[in-house]
Amino acid sequence: MTYKPSTIAIHNGLNEDQQFGCVVPPIYLSSTYNFTDFNEPRAHDYSRRGNPGRDIVQKTLAQLEGGSGSVMTNSGMSALHLLCTVFLQPGDLLVAPHDCYGGSYRLFNSQSQRGAYQVQFVDQSDESALQAALAKKPKLVLIETPSNPLLRIFDIQHIAQLAHDVGALVVVDNTFLSPILQQPLSLGADFVVHSCTKYLNGHSDIVAGVVIAKEEKWVTELAWWANNIGVTGGAFDSYLLLRGIRTLSPRVLQQQQNAQEIVKYLKSQPLVKKLYYPALEDHPGHEIAVKQQKGFGAMLSFEFAGDESQLRHFLRSLSLFTLAESLGGVETLISHTATMTHAGMSAEARAQAGITDSLLRISVGIEDSQDLITDLDHAFKVAAQR
C-alpha cells in the first residue's frame, strides 16, 4: 500500500523491535558489531558504514521524496560534497545557481580553485545564460528552489530536461520546502539533497544532511563513498532526525500559515523596501511555484529601508525573533544575509546575485502568529524613531 507523506513520516520504523516490542525504534550506540563466525559479518559490522537507526531514517527520507534510497550524512554540506566527490572529476563542470546558499558557493568555489572540478555560477532564470552554460556539457547541474535567500523559483522540470539533453545529472536542494511541499524527483531530478538540520529535524539540535537518489545504482555508489570518506551520520543524530520527521507535516503547515500572516503585515510597513515571498503574485517565478509546489513555505526575506543604525536598533528590539543563522526550527529566526549566511561570498558575488547589505531573512516558527507580528511592530516603531 502506498501512503501519504504524513503517514510515512509517522509510521516508518514503528513496532519493528522483535526483542522487547519497542514501539519506537531504540538507539543503537554501538560503534562495532560482532561477526557470527569467521568471514561471516552481520548486516552491520561497523557504525560508520551502517547503523540500524540510520537505516530507518534513510528509508523514511527516501520514501518521503519518492526515491530508491538515501544516504544520511553528518551535515548538509557533506551531502553536497559527497555528490561532487562521486560524480565530478578534475575538468568536469558543475553548473550551480549564482545566488545559492553561501556555504554551497564557498564549497564549489574553493574546490574549483583547487582543481577538483570546474564550476560555473549561472542565473538560472536567464534562459540564454543557462543554455550557454549547458552547451559546455556539465556533468552535474544544481538547482536550488526556492533559492537562499531571495526565494527565487526555478522550473525543475524544464531545467532537468535541458540538463538531461546534454548528459548531465540534476540535483535539487529541497531544504527550504521539504518533501511535504515539493518533490523534485517526480519533476525530473536525479537527486535531492537536504540540510536535515533544518525542516526535517525541525528542532535546531542536530547537524545532518541527506542525499536521496532516484535510481538504486546511485544509492549503492553514494553509500560506498560516504563510508569511504567518513561523512555518514551518527546513531544519536539518526534518532533525533527520525523523531523530528514524525512531526514534519504539521510543523511545516503551521509555519507556512504563520509566514503568510507575517507577509500580510510586512506589506504595509514603510521600513520594508522590498519583500520576497513566492506566494506574492509579483514574485519572480510565482506561476512556476504554483505549478510545482504544494505550498509556498515559511521562508521570507525583505530589504530594510532604513540606515544601518536603524537596522541595528530594529534587530536589537526583537524579542521573539532570534538573530541566528540556520532555519526550519520551531523557533523563529532572523538573519542579516551579508554578514551571516552569505558572508563567505565576496561583495561582488553578492551584488551579482542581488543580495544587498540591507537584506534580512526570516525563518518563521510555530509560535502564535499575532505574537510574532506584535514583536515586529514594536521593533519597527523603535527603528523609525532613530
Residues with active-site annotation? 48, 101, 173, 198
SS3 149: coil
**Amino acid present at 84:** C
For residues 322 and 259, what is the distance between their CA atoms, to the nearest angstrom?
16
For residues 21 and 38, what is the distance between their CA atoms, to the nearest angstrom?
31
Q: For 71, phi and psi rounded to 5 degrees? A: -130, 120
For residues 130 and 178, what is the distance between their CA atoms, to the nearest angstrom?
25
Helix axis angle, 369-384 to 248-266, nearest 10°:
40
Q: For 209, phi and psi rounded to 5 degrees? A: -145, 175
User: What's the Cα-to-Cα distance from 244 to each of 91, 176, 188, 241, rounded to whole Å?
Assistant: 40, 16, 28, 5
Helix and strand totals (H; E) in the chain? 14, 12
For residues 58 and 2, what is the distance between their CA atoms, to the nearest angstrom?
18
Helices (H), ranges, the chain = 5-11, 52-65, 76-87, 102-113, 127-134, 156-165, 178-181, 216-229, 235-245, 248-266, 286-292, 308-316, 347-353, 369-384
SS3 270: coil
Helical (H) or strand (E) element with 361: strand 359-363
Q: What is the DSSP letter of 185?
A: G
- For CA atoms 126, 127, 128, 131, the dihedral sign is positive
Would you state the cell numbers that stand for residue 250, as one nine-digit string? 504539521
